[in-house]
Amino acid sequence: MLVRNTLPGIFAALLLTSAVPAQQPQARIRIDTNRVIGEVSPRLFGNFAEHLGRCIYGGIFEEGSPLSDSDGFRKDVLEAVKPLGVSVLRWPGGNFASGYNWKDGVGPRDQRPARPDLAWGALETNRFGTDEFLRYCERIGAEPYLCINAGLGSVDDARQWVEYANETRPTYWANQRRKNGREQPWNVKIWGLGNEIDGPWQLGHKNAEDYAKFALEAAKAMRRQDASIELIASGSSNFGADADWIGWNRAVLDRLKDQIDYISLHTYIGNRENNFENFLGSNALDIEDRIQVVEGQIKAAQNGQAKPRPIYIAFDEWNTWYRTIHPGDSEFDIGKSGLEEHYNFEDALAAGMFLNAFMRHADVVKMANLAQLVNVIAPIFTNKQALYLQTIYWPLVEYGKQRGNLSLDLQTTSPTYRIGSRPPLGYLDVSGTYSPADRAIYLNVLNRSEKSDIVTRVDAIAGQIGSPAAVWELNNPDLKAVNDFGAEKVRPATRAVALNLENDGFTYTFPKHSLTILKLKAQ
């Protein structure tokens, strides 16, 4: 039985618990491995490390610590980063990028200048710079993504950074790199044309027209330096009531469509109203809308072009962030906010919601970077002696195993609820992928009903499913449960489940407030 759209969420939830017979399916998922949306880009499992609070200093990098290696990298953090399989690491910001002079961060460490960090009110020692970052990427097996200073910086600073990183000939900046110990070019492919330049909080904030002019000239100069690089335009990040985020993207795409490979989107969410179902529902609707709008804008910009340059979305900052304050908030105390969110169980479910949306749009969302890697709104949290894994760590690890799979266009129906006057949405938020190589189907199912388990019929439309299924489940009786040093309460459970197969399908109950990944055998 399906609870239809017209009831407010609370009544729909009541119907779910009371009126539905125990094993009667309430929801349906149809899997057809021929209905492919696109490849799940490995770049969806990117991350971001900014000079902010204790992300770099005291997180990734802690010189003199007994926990660090000879490069100053925290070895325990390196170990914790590995299972995340970070495919792309973005650096140095973030807001920090818009005041950063990369030349301060190269050369002998003891001779580097200390500077005021005008984005976050800190003192920047510059002991961690370009070569340290690129070495870190090599150590964790991530592609580096450098974000230029499109705020206070210049076009030629950006061009020279490409020269420092990638030039093979004996030019001035390539020779500086050699002098600093790196003979071979670093060969950095991914470059961001600035960070959140649409936000009034940004150093060197510009209007869309001024940004597009700057970015176009930077792209031209950087590409003349190295034609093989990929460029990401700074798209919308400012969704405030007065912000014309659609107009910003339109202007950027119109001017830059022949130069860029990606347009960025940033989204942070929070359960400010302390309403679990609304938190996981309204933000899901927003993310869907934003992806669909930007996809349409890319198409509109390319309309009429004989051979348009492919442009994808890079969701290069995403996460839950609302307990620690934001720049622009009246109580924001620049220099005091380390953005150290302690994530709870429901925040981990939100990570599944984001990843489901990216996978459902795998044809257009080709990069995503969780903000950030360590301590600062991050899955890994350190002190001087140890670290612990935050709740949001676990979905990242598990979804990451689906990189390179084919995202499937599943047909899903589930009981619905409404948030205010917004369109109805299903309690089940689902994505699915298929790996032809090992004939495995993954169903990623978030049950965002706070009160009700949902009995679901799963059918294979093309081919058959085998038994048993491998189940990964993240659940906790306490939505607000947090992890801490020596007390990681929120961890996934795994088990094998024998499926009662009939007519190419089976029934499975997705528990209330849970995130489940079913790994099925396709036969």
Q: Which residues are catalytic?
A: 196, 317
C-beta of 50 vs 261, nearer to ligand AHR: 50
Q: Which H helix or E strand runs over 458? A: strand 454-460
Q: Tell whether residue 371 is a contact of ligand AHR (CB under 6 A).
A: yes
Lookup: tokens for 251: 């202007």
**Distance between CA atoms of residues 484 and 342, nearest Å:** 8
Lookup: tokens for 190: 């991914």
Determine how β-strand 425-426 pairs with β-strand 190-193. unpaired
Residue type, 91: W
Is the distance from CB of 374 to CB of 77 less than 8 angstroms? Answer: yes
Shortest Å, Cβ 237 to ligand AHR: 6
CA count, 13 A, side-chain hemisphere, 24: 12
C-beta of 146 vs 371, nearer to ligand AHR: 371
C-beta of 50 vs 163, nearer to ligand AHR: 50
Length of the chain: 523
Residue nearest to ligand AHR (CB): 94
Is the distance from CB of 450 to CB of 441 less than 8 angstroms? Answer: no
Residue type, 113: P
Lookup: tokens for 51: 């000079």
Q: Which H helix or E strand runs over 215? A: helix 208-225
Residue type, 287: I
C-beta of 196 vs 429, nearer to ligand AHR: 196
**One residue of 163, 196, 226, 277 binding ligand AHR per CB under 6 A:** 196
Taking CB under 6 A as the binding criterion, the range among 61-69, 90-98, 182-190, 291-299 that sits at the site for ligand AHR is 90-98
**Distance between CA atoms of residues 497 and 286, nearest Å:** 35
Shortest Å, Cβ 170 to ligand AHR: 36
**One residue of 149, 166, 195, 238 binding ligand AHR per CB under 6 A:** 195
**One residue of 9, 59, 85, 94 binding ligand AHR per CB under 6 A:** 94
What are the backbone angles phi and psi of residue 85, rounded to the nearest 5°? 55, 50
C-beta of 68 vs 372, nearer to ligand AHR: 372
Q: Which of residues 325-354 bind ligand AHR (CB under 6 A)?
A: none
Is the distance from CB of 89 to CB of 47 less than 8 angstroms? Answer: yes
**Distance between CA atoms of residues 221 and 161, nearest Å:** 11
Q: Tell whether residue 95 is a contact of ligand AHR (CB under 6 A).
A: yes
DSSP code string of 119-167: TTTEEE---S-HHHHHHHHHHHTPEEEEE---SS--HHHHHHHHHHHH-
Taking CB under 6 A as the binding criterion, the range among 91-99, 246-254, 388-396, 511-519 that sits at the site for ligand AHR is 91-99
Taking CB under 6 A as the binding criterion, the range among 87-95, 282-290, 403-411, 478-486 that sits at the site for ligand AHR is 87-95
Shortest Å, Cβ 186 to ligand AHR: 23
Shortest Å, Cβ 274 to ligand AHR: 23
Taking CB under 6 A as the binding criterion, the range among 89-97, 329-337, 397-405, 493-501 that sits at the site for ligand AHR is 89-97
Q: Which of residues 408-467 bind ligand AHR (CB under 6 A)?
A: none
Task: Give the bridge partners for 190, in sequence order.
Answer: 145, 230
Shortest Å, Cβ 218 to ligand AHR: 18
Dihedral angle over CA of 132, 63, 70, 386, nearest 10: -110
Q: Which of residues 110-149 bind ligand AHR (CB under 6 A)?
A: none
Residue carrying structure tokens 């930007």 = 294
C-beta of 149 vs 160, nearer to ligand AHR: 149
Taking CB under 6 A as the binding criterion, the range among 93-101, 150-158, 387-395, 515-523 that sits at the site for ligand AHR is 93-101
C-beta of 72 vs 93, nearer to ligand AHR: 93
Q: Which of residues 42-61 bind ligand AHR (CB under 6 A)?
A: 50
Beta-carbon contacts of 83 under 8 Å, excluding residues fewer than 6 positions away, are 397
Residue carrying structure tokens 């929801």 = 27
Q: Tell whether residue 198 is a contact of ligand AHR (CB under 6 A).
A: no
C-beta of 90 vs 512, nearer to ligand AHR: 90
C-beta of 369 vs 391, nearer to ligand AHR: 369
Is the distance from CB of 39 to CB of 407 less than 8 angstroms? Answer: yes
Shortest Å, Cβ 196 to ligand AHR: 5
**Distance between CA atoms of residues 415 and 419, nearest Å:** 14
The interface mask with ligand AHR, positions 372-411, x = CB under 6 A, is x---------------------------------------
C-beta of 195 vs 236, nearer to ligand AHR: 195
Is the distance from CB of 254 to CB of 213 less than 8 angstroms? Answer: no
Taking CB under 6 A as the binding criterion, the range among 3-11, 88-96, 250-258, 422-430 that sits at the site for ligand AHR is 88-96
Shortest Å, Cβ 423 to ligand AHR: 28
**Distance between CA atoms of residues 34 and 42, nearest Å:** 21
Determine how β-strand 262-269 pairs with β-strand 230-233. parallel
Task: Give the bridge partners for 233, in sequence order.
Answer: 193, 263
The interface mask with ligand AHR, positions 301-320, x = CB under 6 A, is ----------------x---
R_g (Cα) of the chain, nearest Å: 23
- Binding-site size, ligand AHR (CB under 6 A): 9
Shortest Å, Cβ 356 to ligand AHR: 22
Shortest Å, Cβ 381 to ligand AHR: 16
Shortest Å, Cβ 110 to ligand AHR: 28
Q: Would you tell me which residues interact with ligand AHR (CB under 6 A)?
A: 50, 93-95, 195-196, 317, 371-372
